[in-house]
Structure 1
């Protein structure tokens, strides 16, 4: 129990005024004092929900469906020996440990089967839970721009994108307020999971409210209004914008959405989320937003709104100063040669919706849908690095394994559980009774976990240093 959760009296007074009539302040406080249920989301870029359920059953994990996310489950698992984050399934990207409420914004963005997007912006992306969820919904097609203002968090964002096999992303590191001017009407969908006061997070952080004040809520809401304006400018006409927070105050939620409506008038349309999942009406506001208190669905406090851009509005003018683009698109001949060598060496195929780009000796794969933005905006990392060129050909990179391989390739070596532990600790392995030549995909079961190179009967470890683990492995 988190009976020591800090809830300022001024905050409780605020909540008493806005809490749903079907609930009480006492129920709200009691919910805040209960530990948060652990939840996960199956990564459909790597596996299917049905296959994952079969594996979970064999491991003795009890899964209970999250009603607003077909891939989401609350999980009961014995973590006394191996934490969920150190299981083979997590390390190979089959699932993401994600709070159930935070799955809702992406579900709202892809509310119906007709919500198919070629270009999506995730304006505040780290650590990557929603970014990887969007990528899975896009089936790695089109382009997903994942922006993170905090440079220290970009590394974590990239690590999660890499682990989950995302290949259609382009990362950037800016204040989200730049997008409206730099990339006006470039995206069919925008998610802004806005920085907020975090009032809904006390169930996982008893001290989340230690520095809370009404003044800080107002200050944060002003930033959120700037961000939602920028997001709206970046959105194409007819496109959808989802605005979400893990906070409860109306100043950071409803009032931010109303600010957008007041600023752009009839160009903004609120899209009701009443049918997003069964019993969504319990949290529905008059505008059609979802204002979720922790006691309603036994999860974090959260807010989700879906809006549509009905007509164009004038975007801010910016003076662009972009340096020379350091990449060059490979010629058709060079791309064909790379495709041929990759197929011959590893039996891996390049996707049809991507193109090879070169920078010095580095070989990259960019989503074709990104190309229109390359001369308009500076990204910190685009697509995936697939190779380094050298005099004898190409040295393939880790993301060929995580983002392109399917597990059905001929050039694979299957490790035992003990060998896979050694692999994840950065050590070379000697698969019993096996030997080979050249580069090879490394698997545990049918899950591709890396790329190695045969040296006699030993597979030389090619795991990037930042992914090496040292203890409590599956």
Structure 2
């Protein structure tokens, strides 16, 4: 790989004797990784069913390396939201932010959603998960990943952080700032980034970072924690940005981090500083670990700074239609009737503890439940992905090794006449699933199992090996595929 000479010269100056080893790492192929969605299963559970060989990533409990020759994104489990394809080092920032159930969490520069989905998984459907990206087009990709992962408490926004701080001063318990950067750490993975680096350089991004980190600091509660990260080596964008924060906002400290072998320390001397706490920063080097270049730091805001009181979200009473009420009663979810919101025909269930959001550019406000249409309720794709198989009564379970799993994801009609075994209740269903797993001879050619329901217009939750994919609707003419067309497997 031919690296920009200016970049090489700077890295040689910084690394000294380590430079040749660093340079040699660019001859190695970058490592590919996936991160398991803990809203749906544990890393241990996934290791049993993984569609390809995997090895654990040392700095996170639910991240795994896989061979780049494999294509886990071409498996139905990916479309069930069981994992996210993510560069291994990029898993570190969200892993370090110790989110607790009930926290209010902000991901400032969130697209395409790799870090937001992990933070949301830590919340486990509680608290508030605010994911923001200033780019509206990138925020749409973020929204899809949030909904694919089954996040029940999302607030997806596309705003400049300068405007965001007006709505959320000292609101968040935890904040992640994965800042826009010059991308030096990604040159090996994506050489095209070098052109962007040569065009914009370090200073352009450093000015953005300084503004963003101060806005984030103002949105953090006293006593709260913030992670700042980049995928670059530049001291100006890393230790320099942290020094800028410490000089411009009172009450912040750089927290020590327990680190695994190979993760390096911060270098205050690279920015002419003698502040020892900057050594608590983490530097990820591609010649020391199996991952790309990253910088990560954990910051704490003093509890003595002061607090701001909030006016709560202005909820209005929503009168559910009989059809919506009947459908929601079939779900094993304890809904708070005061947290529904109806916009046009769309019904949402909002997180608890929101402030007034009037005027914000919002892409998703809470969990989109479905559409209240005349004389019917149509559940959403987002709701399907947010459920567990035990949350709903009517189930169509497709086995991942059958062609019907891909047919469903391609929005094609499923032939229910031959390849599906029907059963009358959940007990019989569980027995058949166990028989399939045990490799029983009479289950070999079975595409799936259907909980029998002969009432017209019944909604079925379609699952793959027990993990929800979307909806289908039973009628006299068979099972209508209701998978979201915009998510169709191409």
Q: CA distance change for structure 1 residues 200 and 410 in 2, over 3 Å: closer, same or farther?
A: same
Shift of 1:210: 2.6
Once residues 341 and 352 of structure 1 are traced to their aligned partners in structure 2, the CA distance between those partners, rounded to angstroms, is 15
SS at 2:236 equivalent: helix
SS at 2:195 equivalent: coil
Shift of 1:154: 1.4
Once residues 46 and 249 of structure 2 are traced to their aligned partners in structure 1, the CA distance between those partners, rounded to angstroms, is 45
SS at 1:364 equivalent: strand
Q: 2:351 aligns with which of 356, 367, 384?
A: 367
Q: CA distance change for structure 1 residues 360 and 261 in 2, over 3 Å: closer, same or farther?
A: same
Unaligned stretches of 5+ residues in structure 1: 316-324
Shift of 1:281: 5.8
Once residues 481 and 393 of structure 2 are traced to their aligned partners in structure 1, the CA distance between those partners, rounded to angstroms, is 19
Of stretches 28-37 and 88-97 in structure 1, the one that deviates more from structure 2 is 28-37
Q: CA distance change for structure 1 residues 311 and 77 in 2, over 3 Å: closer, same or farther?
A: closer
Aligned to 1:196: 181
Once residues 413 and 353 of structure 1 are traced to their aligned partners in structure 2, the CA distance between those partners, rounded to angstroms, is 29
Q: Does 1:399 find its partner at 2:382?
A: yes
Aligned to 1:321: none
Residues 20-169 of structure 1 aligned to structure 2 (within 5 Å): 24-56=18-50, 59=51, 61-76=52-67, 78-79=69-70, 83-110=71-98, 115=100, 118-169=103-154
Once residues 442 and 54 of structure 1 are traced to their aligned partners in structure 2, the CA distance between those partners, rounded to angstroms, is 22
Q: CA distance change for structure 1 residues 140 and 154 in 2, over 3 Å: closer, same or farther?
A: same
Once residues 380 and 278 of structure 1 are traced to their aligned partners in structure 2, the CA distance between those partners, rounded to angstroms, is 38
Aligned to 2:260: 278
Shift of 1:166: 1.0
Once residues 123 and 228 of structure 1 are traced to their aligned partners in structure 2, the CA distance between those partners, rounded to angstroms, is 9
Shift of 1:408: 5.6
Partner deviation per Cα, 1:357-394 (whole Å, 9 max, x = no partner): 11232211111132x24358452321122121133242
Aligned to 1:343: 329
Unaligned stretches of 5+ residues in structure 2: 268-275, 308-312, 423-451
Aligned to 1:252: 237
Once residues 141 and 191 of structure 2 are traced to their aligned partners in structure 1, the CA distance between those partners, rounded to angstroms, is 24
SS at 1:368 equivalent: coil
Instruction: Note if contact 2:463-2:470 (Cα within 8 Å) is conserved in structure 1.
Output: yes
SS at 1:450 equivalent: strand
Of stretches 5-14 and 233-242 in structure 1, the one that deviates more from structure 2 is 5-14
Shift of 1:240: 0.7
Q: 1:14 aligns with which of 1, 10, 14?
A: 10
Once residues 52 and 353 of structure 1 are traced to their aligned partners in structure 2, the CA distance between those partners, rounded to angstroms, is 35
Once residues 260 and 383 of structure 2 are traced to their aligned partners in structure 1, the CA distance between those partners, rounded to angstroms, is 40
Shift of 1:175: 1.8
TM-score by length of 1: 0.86
> Number of residue pairs matched?
438
Q: Does 1:469 find its partner at 2:454?
A: no
Once residues 118 and 270 of structure 1 are traced to their aligned partners in structure 2, the CA distance between those partners, rounded to angstroms, is 21
Aligned to 1:414: 397
Once residues 40 and 442 of structure 1 are traced to their aligned partners in structure 2, the CA distance between those partners, rounded to angstroms, is 24
Once residues 354 and 6 of structure 1 are traced to their aligned partners in structure 2, the CA distance between those partners, rounded to angstroms, is 60
Once residues 338 and 53 of structure 2 are traced to their aligned partners in structure 1, the CA distance between those partners, rounded to angstroms, is 39
Partner deviation per Cα, 1:198-222 (whole Å, 9 max, x = no partner): 0000121123213434972012101
Instruction: Note if contact 1:105-1:242 (Cα within 8 Å) is conserved in structure 2.
Output: yes
Once residues 35 and 336 of structure 1 are traced to their aligned partners in structure 2, the CA distance between those partners, rounded to angstroms, is 58
Shift of 1:349: 2.4
Residues 431-442 of structure 1 aligned to structure 2 (within 5 Å): 431=416, 432=418, 436=454, 437=456, 438-442=458-462
Partner deviation per Cα, 1:80-109 (whole Å, 9 max, x = no partner): xxx221111111111111111111111111
Instruction: Note if contact 1:182-1:376 (Cα within 8 Å) is conserved in structure 2.
Output: no
Q: CA distance change for structure 1 residues 222 and 117 in 2, over 3 Å: closer, same or farther?
A: farther
Once residues 473 and 2 of structure 2 are traced to their aligned partners in structure 1, the CA distance between those partners, rounded to angstroms, is 54
Alignment RMSD, CA only?
A: 2.6
Instruction: Note if contact 1:178-1:230 (Cα within 8 Å) is conserved in structure 2.
Output: no
Instruction: Note if contact 2:127-2:351 (Cα within 8 Å) is conserved in structure 1.
Output: yes
SS at 1:121 equivalent: strand
Q: Does 1:291 find its partner at 2:291?
A: no
Q: Does 1:386 find its partner at 2:380?
A: no
Instruction: Note if contact 1:253-1:303 (Cα within 8 Å) is conserved in structure 2.
Output: yes
Aligned to 1:318: none
Q: CA distance change for structure 1 residues 354 and 27 in 2, over 3 Å: closer, same or farther?
A: farther
Once residues 425 and 337 of structure 1 are traced to their aligned partners in structure 2, the CA distance between those partners, rounded to angstroms, is 28
SS at 2:296 equivalent: strand
Once residues 397 and 215 of structure 1 are traced to their aligned partners in structure 2, the CA distance between those partners, rounded to angstroms, is 42
